[in-house]
Structure 1
């Protein structure tokens, strides 16, 4: 079976701690629930043991900015 987290096309996913998350939410003046969603069973975050309500930081390559960082709220 292929491990999705090791695939070249899957960007790096990490859990965001509460302190860093508050800084991001304050910077953009949004609530946690305003973030795009990602399902808890998504293969890319399976090894993170993420629970609903956690936030995942995704770093991917970008043609225009070298690295693009996006945040997703984990849902059931």
Structure 2
């Protein structure tokens, strides 16, 4: 079976620690549930990701070197 997380076109997905998450939520003045969602079944997620975790996705960008987005893991 192919591990899609290792494919060159799949951006880096990492689980945020609680202290990092609090900083992000404070910076944007939002709640965890206000974040865009990503399904737990998404093959790009790390294996240890659980429902309720927040994922940081770092993508390449043409206008900036990288673009960082956050997603809430849902069932």
| Same fold by TM-score greater than 0.5 | yes
Which structure 1 segments of 5+ residues have no match?
none
Regions of 4+ moved over 2 Å: none
- 1:19-58 to structure 2, matched below 5 A, reads 19-47=19-47, 49-58=48-57
Q: Report the number of matched residues.
A: 75
Asked whether the 8 Å contact 1:40–1:46 carries over to 2, the reply is no
- CA RMSD in angstroms comes to 0.8
* TM-score (norm: length of structure 1): 0.94
Give the C-alpha shift of residue 46 in structure 1: 4.4
Report the Cα offset of residue 50 of structure 1: 1.0
TM-score by length of 2: 0.95
Ranges in structure 2 where 5+ consecutive residues have no aligned partner: none
- Whose helix fraction is larger, Structure 1's or Structure 2's? 1
